[in-house]
């Protein structure tokens, strides 16, 4: 009985242990199955709850089936052959399989199969322990992919690094990289060749001295803080900076053109700077050669322009001189021919006047002695109007004398104007030259209607005789006065205003000046810029040659060392001011005309300030 009780207690203990093991297997997340090895196909006889949760199959759906249904159609996995071999050998094995849940989703199953033998050593069962290692497999796969990608990236990086290094080593441009502290971290061979030395551990403040950096003038050291790379490590970009590099006084030196950029990381923090530069020495030499060629070309162009100008001036002067010489000879001939009879008439007028006075005295005595003449004499006295003759004859003689005197003055003026062909310099009365010119132009001044004739206002100062070429100076007067008359005719008279030309003379700083101002239409800026150019004219074809002011410039400036000034405004008249020294020096001054100098103003030709001379008065009168 005690034996039975003992056996009963032991049995109960075994049952409790079995129950606890069942509860433990039910609680674990690991899938556990037991297959009957004694039956065909090794059907499952047990599965725990962990297997059900792992596969999605219920116990009723799997009991009696072989576990291979979890493989689905993927039954050619290498691990399957390992399982078969272990089953044949009745040995334990551990494999990883691709299995499929009831819903068809894939999971990775780490399967451990262990054989179970009875007390006689006979195989009775196989126990399969299954763990869902999908996350681990996927993590390992991801890690493997990442590792491979990293390896690929490292290989690509090594390749790119090699390419970049080869590129930097063979690049013709110099490349220098410095960190944010100004320490060099890269210095390619081209940079070393261009700068004369390689990477050094000096601060950015010492770069100028260390590498011999100068401004393009080759003399001024490049300010260290303005070096392109120094600016780049401060966050600034620099384009096309030119630097002259001369590491030592014995070296020839090179010019480089530098571009620099700051280097930043992915979040925008400044990490340093890079400078890329190339040798532009040949370009600078070419530019310098081009500048010299351009300078020579400009000089040659100016010389050609000057030669052309001189040629035109000479040609114009020859033509004008020939014309004026012919005119002077003609005027001199006329004056000579007129002078002889006029002198005869003028010289005999005094005698004729005396004779007439004697006859009048005699006639008066006859009238006193014979107060009652005969009828025939009375009739003749009445017929000839004796009383009128006695009264008018002295007046007639006086008028004849005045006319002869006028003719004599005209002849003197003609002779004075006839100096045009004289080549030597003389001391002359400037006023005589002006007056003789006005006499020659008298027909133009008087050809207007009586109420519109041009008024000449003379404001002469007392002048000493002036050394000059009188004929050439008269030519200047006639050119400027002709232009003034044209301007008055074209503008003032058409406006219904009285035409006026004011002529002033005076002395200032040992120079005599002659001012000729008109109240014509004035000149525009365009006309003012070109009025001294040879052959430039605003007059109709056939009326002007464009040589008058050009020749006047040559006479005043080049021949007499003087100045020719002007002031003009559209609608307000024009004034020309001629200045020449009272005494001429041996040498004469020369100034390039405005169309050659390009500035439109120089010491010889310039615009007068308002209010200096006559035109300002004319302008103020018209305003």
Domain ranges in the chain are: 2-132, 139-166, 171-279, 285-414, 422-622
Report pLDDT digits (tens) over 309-336. 777 767 666 666 666 556 566 666 666 6
Question: Are residues 327 and 420 in contact, defined by beta-carbon separation less than 8 angstroms?
Answer: yes
Residue, of 496 and 622, whose pLDDT is higher = 496
Secondary structure of residue 255 in the 3-state scheme: strand
Report pLDDT digits (tens) over 170-195. 888 889 999 988 898 888 898 888 88
pTM (2 decimals)? 0.40
* DSSP-derived secondary structure for 498-564: PPEEEEEEEEETTEEEEEEEE-S----HHHHHHTTSTT---SPTTT--S-HHHHHHIIIIIIT--EE
Residue the block writes with tokens 């307000």: 572
Position 444 pLDDT exceeds 50: yes
Report pLDDT digits (tens) over 499-518. 889 999 999 988 999 999 99
Q: Which two tokens stand for residue 522?
A: 């004035």
Report pLDDT digits (tens) over 113-122. 999 999 898 9
Alpha helices, DSSP H only, in 418-504? Answer: 430-440, 442-446, 470-487
Of the candidate ranges 249-253, 275-279, 562-566, the one whose mean pLDDT is the lowest: 249-253
Distance from C-alpha of 516 to C-alpha of 500, rounded to nearest angstrom? 10
The 3-state secondary structure of 93-150, one letter per residue: EEEEEEEECCCCCEEEEEEEEEEEECCCCCEEEEEEEEEECHHHHHHHHHHHHHHHHH
Secondary structure of residue 264 in the 3-state scheme: strand
Report pLDDT digits (tens) over 546-563. 667 777 888 898 888 999
Give the other-Cβ count within 10 Å of 232's Cβ.
Answer: 25
Distance from C-alpha of 202 to C-alpha of 159, rounded to nearest angstrom? 32
**CATH top class, domain 422-622:** alpha beta
Residue 396: which pLDDT band, with cuts at 50, 70 and 90?
A: confident
Of the candidate ranges 114-118, 208-212, 278-282, 596-600, the one whose mean pLDDT is the lowest: 596-600
Position 611 pLDDT exceeds 60: no
Look at strands 466-468 and 426-428 and give their pairing: antiparallel
Distance from C-alpha of 337 to C-alpha of 415, rounded to nearest angstrom? 12
pLDDT score for 558: 85
Region 283-301 average pLDDT: 90
Residue, of 50 and 534, whose pLDDT is higher = 50
Residue the block writes with tokens 């490349």: 175
Distance from C-alpha of 529 to C-alpha of 476, rounded to nearest angstrom? 20
Question: Are residues 177 and 272 in contact, defined by beta-carbon separation less than 8 angstroms?
Answer: yes
Question: Are residues 255 and 161 in contact, defined by beta-carbon separation less than 8 angstroms?
Answer: no
Q: Which two tokens stand for residue 458?
A: 């003379």
Residue 447: which pLDDT band, with cuts at 50, 70 and 90?
A: low
Handedness of CA 57, 58, 59, 63 (dihedral sign): negative
- Phi-psi category of residue 268: left, alpha or beta, with phi > 0 → left and psi -120 to 50 → alpha: left
- Chain-wide mean pLDDT for the chain? 80
Region 427-439 average pLDDT: 88
Question: 1.10.10.10, 3.40.640.10, 3.30.450.20, 1.10.8.420: which CATH number matches 171-279?
Answer: 3.30.450.20
Question: Are residues 172 and 190 in contact, defined by beta-carbon separation less than 8 angstroms?
Answer: yes
Half-sphere exposure of 112 (CA within 13 A, CB side): 8
Length of the chain equals: 623
Secondary structure of residue 201 in the 3-state scheme: coil
* DSSP-derived secondary structure for 402-427: HHHHHHHHHHHHHHHHGGGG--S-EE
**CATH top class, domain 2-132:** alpha beta
Residue, of 532 and 428, whose pLDDT is higher = 428
Distance from C-alpha of 298 to C-alpha of 303, rounded to nearest angstrom? 8
CA 552 to chain centre: 39
Region 463-467 average pLDDT: 92
Describe the strand order of the beta sheet including 93-100 as a list of residue ranges: 44-47, 31-36, 123-132, 106-117, 93-100
Describe the strand order of the beta sheet including 238-245 as a list of residue ranges: 184-187, 174-179, 270-279, 254-264, 238-245, 213-214
Secondary structure of residue 494 in the 3-state scheme: coil
pLDDT score for 422: 56
Residue, of 257 and 545, whose pLDDT is higher = 257
Q: What are phi and psi of 417, to 5 degrees?
A: -65, -30
Half-sphere exposure of 615 (CA within 13 A, CB side): 29
Residue 2: which pLDDT band, with cuts at 50, 70 and 90?
A: very low
Residue, of 240 and 452, whose pLDDT is higher = 240
- Phi-psi category of residue 163: left, alpha or beta, with phi > 0 → left and psi -120 to 50 → alpha: alpha
Is there a common fold for 2-132 and 422-622? no
Region 52-72 average pLDDT: 90
């Amino acid at each position: 009985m005690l034996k039975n009780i003992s056996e009963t207690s032991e049995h109960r203990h075994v049952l409790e242990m079995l129950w606890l093991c069942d509860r433990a297997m039910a609680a674990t997340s690991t899938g556990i199955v037991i297959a009957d090895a004694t039956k065909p196909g090794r059907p499952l006889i047990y599965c725990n709850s962990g297997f059900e949760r792992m596969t999605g199959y219920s116990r009723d759906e799997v009991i009696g089936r072989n576990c291979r249904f979890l493989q689905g159609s993927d039954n050619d996995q290498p691990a399957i052959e390992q399982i078969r071999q272990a089953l044949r050998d009745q040995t334990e094995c551990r494999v990883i399989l691709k299995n499929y849940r009831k819903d068809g989703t894939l999971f990775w199953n780490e399967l451990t199969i262990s054989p179970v033998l009875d007390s006689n050593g006979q195989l009775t069962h196989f126990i399969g322990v299954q763990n869902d290692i999908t996350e681990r497999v996927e993590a390992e796969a991801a890690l493997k992919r990442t590792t491979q990608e990293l390896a690929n990236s490292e290989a690509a990086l090594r390749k790119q690094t090699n390419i970049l290094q080869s590129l930097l080593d063979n690049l013709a441009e110099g490349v220098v990289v410095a960190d944010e502290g100004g320490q060099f971290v890269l210095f390619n061979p081209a940079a070393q060749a261009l700068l004369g030395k390689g990477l050094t551990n000096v601060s950015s403040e010492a770069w100028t001295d260390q590498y011999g950096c100068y401004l393009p003038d080759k003399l001024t050291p490049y300010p260290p803080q303005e070096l392109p790379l120094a600016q780049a490590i401060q966050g600034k970009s620099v384009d096309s900076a030119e630097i002259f590099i001369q590491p030592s006084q014995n070296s020839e030196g090179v010019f480089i053109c530098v571009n620099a950029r700051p280097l930043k990381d992915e979040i925008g923090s400044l990490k340093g700077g890079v400078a890329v530069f190339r040798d532009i020495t040949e370009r600078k030499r070419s530019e310098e050669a081009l500048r010299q060629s351009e300078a020579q070309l400009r000089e040659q162009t100016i010389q050609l322009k000057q030669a052309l100008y001189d040629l035109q001036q000479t040609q114009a002067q020859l033509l004008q001189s020939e014309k004026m010489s012919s005119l002077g000879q003609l005027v001199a001939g006329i004056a000579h021919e007129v002078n002889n009879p006029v002198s005869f008439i003028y010289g005999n007028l005094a005698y004729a006047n005396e004779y007439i006075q004697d006859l009048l005295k005699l006639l008066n005595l006859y009238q006193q002695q014979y107060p009652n003449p005969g009828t025939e004499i009375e009739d003749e006295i009445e017929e000839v109007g004796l009383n009128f003759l006695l009264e008018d004859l002295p007046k007639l003689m006086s008028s004849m004398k005045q006319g002869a005197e006028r003719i004599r003055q005209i002849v003197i003026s003609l002779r004075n104007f006839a100096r045009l062909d004289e080549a030597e310099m003389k001391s002359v009365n400037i006023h005589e030259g002006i007056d003789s010119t006005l006499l020659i132009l008298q027909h133009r001044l008087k050809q207007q209607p009586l109420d519109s004739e041009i008024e000449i206002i003379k404001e002469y100062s007392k002048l000493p005789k002036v050394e000059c070429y009188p004929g050439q100076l008269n030519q200047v007067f006639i050119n400027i006065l002709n232009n003034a008359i044209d301007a008055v005719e074209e503008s003032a008279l058409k406006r219904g205003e009285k035409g006026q030309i004011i002529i002033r003379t005076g002395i200032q700083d040992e120079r005599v000046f002659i001012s000729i101002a008109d109240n014509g239409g004035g000149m525009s800026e365009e006309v003012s810029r070109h009025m001294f150019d040879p052959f430039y004219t605003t007059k109709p074809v056939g009326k002007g040659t464009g040589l008058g002011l050009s020749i006047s410039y040559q006479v005043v400036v080049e021949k007499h060392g003087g100045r020719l000034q002007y002031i003009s405004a559209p609608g307000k008249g024009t004034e020309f001011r001629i200045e020449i020294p009272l005494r001429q020096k041996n040498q004469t001054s020369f100034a390039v005309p405005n169309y050659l100098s390009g500035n439109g103003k120089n010491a010889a030709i310039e615009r007068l300030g308002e209010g200096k001379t006559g035109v300002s008065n004319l302008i103020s009168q018209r305003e």
